């Protein structure tokens, strides 16, 4: 080890920040760090690794199908750069082999292994170029889980990384629990040693900053170890890790996975690690679809990505994997842009942009709709028909159209008779066919 950790007799557990019998604290030092967005930023995926640990295991066929859909979503844009797999079961290895046979450039297939030299034989035999290696960084793990000193843990990690490099494999070093780790006493020396190995071997060494318990804080002026800006800035400027070798992996325990992931981009990390729909350990990981939208806002475009494929992925999760996606989930839920407010429906009828921030029909193939219930007025009914049937220009129904009156009466009768649920799309379609399109080719 060229750079030694600061060895301590007792573990540094930051009890003033993490008292355990209270909610964790946020400590401020008011140090302002410069934002530095890398020229190239990417999304990586761990649906088949971390994600699978939180739901019914996928079989080989299901993993291959989702891999195909990820490729279609990326659509050769290179934004979804990589996806990682386990290699420990026959079905996982078979899925990797079939996915590799597809020959896609994106997402690139990587693996994840334990800190075990024997596992490199498995990675190498399958022709995988990069693998994740667990390197727990906090004293909670080093002392209380591994029962080692910091120096012993660091030597073990560097030995494993060296073995990867000997085999010509890119080690992606997973700095577990970095948001409770002694950053300058352990994280920086470890990262600097890994960068030395990278220079000597002329093989890229990557660092995944893992916010294992979702404790990262994106606010400016927050003290380490919880500060996301300070972690990313520190890896770049104190440990010499280039942006393209820094990846953020966040969990959503404190509702902060998306903002923390975006912050890691803003302060110099090129990659953020995600899962489809945020599936993963405990409350889950950063949702891939959320970071796609964040990417679009930061970079101003999505290159060639095809976001309409998200609907296919959603349908596959629900029908094939029996995974229920909450209907109000942003961008992917069935009702994420469905309003129940009458005043919103009236606004949508006049100008869709009043209550819809982008063309969700064009980009996501999810037109804004209104839910029809006991509070819905004529405007809501008119807007629902226009949106559902795709009426444009002079074809559009206005709220003064008298044909809407019998539909409104039918709906009112339902609730007068004790109904409490929304009127379904199928019922609304039947009402429209009956009273608006009775003799029209528009009827469906």
The model's pLDDT over 328-351, given as tens digits with 9 standing for 90+, comes to 999 999 889 888 776 777 788 788
Question: Of all residues in the chain, what percent carry a pLDDT higher than 70?
Answer: 98
Q: Which fold has domain 42-319?
A: TIM Barrel (3.20.20)
Give the pLDDT of residue 289. Answer: 98
| Alpha-carbon dihedral angle through residues 182, 187, 189, 193, given to the nearest 10 degrees | 160
pLDDT in tens, 133-157: 999 999 999 999 999 999 999 999 9
Rounded Cα distance between 113 and 320, Å, is 28
- Look at residues 352, 350, 354 and name the one whose alpha carbon lies nearest to residue 369: 352
Rounded Cα distance between 251 and 417, Å, is 47
pTM higher than 0.85: yes
pLDDT in tens, 151-196: 999 999 999 999 999 999 999 999 999 999 999 999 999 999 999 9
The sign one gets for the Cα dihedral 145, 150, 156, 158 is positive
Portions of the chain given CATH number 3.20.20.70: 42-319
Give the pLDDT of residue 444. Answer: 54
Beta pairing, strands 108-113 & 338-339: unpaired
Check: CB of residue 53 under 8 Å from CB of residue 283. Answer: no
Quick check: helix, strand or coil at residue 62? helix
pLDDT in tens, 105-142: 999 999 998 767 778 888 999 999 999 999 999 999 99
């Amino acid at each position: 080890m060229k750079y030694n950790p600061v060895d301590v007799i007792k573990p540094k557990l930051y009890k003033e920040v993490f008292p355990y019998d209270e909610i964790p604290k946020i400590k401020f030092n008011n140090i302002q760090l410069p934002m530095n967005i890398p020229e190239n930023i990417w999304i990586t995926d761990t649906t088949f690794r971390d994600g699978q640990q939180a739901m019914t295991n996928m079989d080989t066929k299901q993993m291959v199908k989702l891999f195909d859909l990820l490729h279609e979503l990326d659509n050769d844009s290179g934004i979804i750069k990589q996806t990682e797999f386990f290699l420990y079961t026959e079905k996982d290895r078979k899925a990797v082999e079939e996915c590799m046979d597809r020959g896609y450039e994106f997402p690139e297939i990587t693996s994840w292994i334990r800190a075990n030299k024997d596992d490199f034989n498995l990675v190498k035999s399958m022709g995988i170029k990069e693998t994740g290696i667990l390197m727990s960084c906090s004293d909670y793990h080093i002392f209380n889980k591994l029962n080692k000193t910091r120096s012993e843990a660091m030597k073990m990690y560097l030995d494993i990384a060296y073995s990867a490099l000997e085999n010509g494999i890119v080690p992606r070093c997973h700095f577990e629990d970095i948001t409770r780790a002694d950053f300058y006493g352990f994280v920086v020396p470890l990262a600097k040693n890994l960068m030395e190995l990278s220079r000597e071997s002329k093989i890229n060494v990557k660092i995944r900053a893992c916010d294992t318990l979702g404790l990262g804080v994106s606010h400016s002026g927050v003290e380490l170890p919880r500060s996301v800006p300070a972690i990313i800035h520190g890896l770049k400027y104190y440990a010499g890790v280039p942006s393209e070798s820094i990846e953020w992996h966040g969990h959503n325990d404190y509702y902060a996975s998306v903002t923390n992931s975006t912050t890691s981009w803003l302060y110099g990390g090129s990659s953020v690690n995600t899962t489809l729909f945020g599936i993963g350990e405990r409350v889950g990981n950063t949702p891939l679809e959320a970071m796609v939208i964040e990417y679009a806002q930061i970079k101003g475009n999505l290159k060639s990505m095809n976001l309409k494929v998200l609907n296919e992925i959603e349908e596959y999760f629900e029908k094939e994997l029996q995974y229920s996606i909450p209907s109000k989930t942003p961008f992917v839920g069935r009702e994420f842009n469905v309003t129940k407010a009458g005043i919103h429906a009236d606004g949508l009828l006049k100008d869709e942009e009043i209550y819809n921030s982008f063309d969700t029909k064009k980009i996501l193939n999810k037109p804004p709709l209104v839910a029809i219930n006991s509070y819905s007025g004529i405007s809501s009914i008119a807007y629902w028909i226009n949106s559902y049937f795709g009426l444009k220009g002079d074809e559009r129904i206005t709220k003064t159209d008298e044909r809407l009156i019998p539909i409104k009466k039918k709906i009112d009768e339902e609730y007068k008779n004790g109904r409490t649920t929304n009127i379904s799309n199928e019922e609304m379609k039947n009402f429209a066919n009956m009273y608006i399109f009775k003799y029209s080719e528009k009827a469906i």
